[in-house]
Amino acid sequence: MTARHLRGALLLAAAVPLAAATAAAALRAGHLKVYADRHRIEITARPRPGCPRCHGEGGWWTGGAFPEMEACGCWSDRRELRIRLLPIPAWNEPPF
C-alpha cells in the first residue's frame, strides 16, 4: 500500500465516526429515533419535549370505562422511513 492510499484510508477511517456523530446529533435535534440492524434501517418520529399539548408524553388518555391513548400530532402526523437492507431468511422449520 502506498503512502497516498494509506493516507486516504486513514482519512476515511476518521471521517466515518465523525459523520455518524453528526447524523446522530441532527436526528436528535429533529426529534427522530433511529433503529438499525442488518436487515433494515428505520427512522421514526419522537414526541417533542416542549410540545404545549402533550408536554413530551406523546399523547393523552381519553376518559371512559376503557381508556385509550390519543396520539399527539407533534409526532404521529410525521412520516416514517424504512430502508430494507438484507432480506430476512425464511424459516425451514417451525421455531418450536
3-state secondary structure of 92: coil
Cell of 1: 500500500
Contact 45, 32 (CB under 8 A): yes
- The DSSP bridge partners found for residue 41 are 36, 83
**DSSP secondary structure of 50-64:** T-TTTTTSSEEE--S
CA neighbor of 84 nearest in space, from 28, 38, 21: 38
What confidence tens digit (pLDDT) does each residue in 37-52 have? 888 888 888 888 888 9
What confidence tens digit (pLDDT) does each residue in 51-96 have? 899 888 888 888 878 888 888 888 888 888 888 887 767 767 666 6
3-state secondary structure of 45: strand
pTM tops 0.75: no
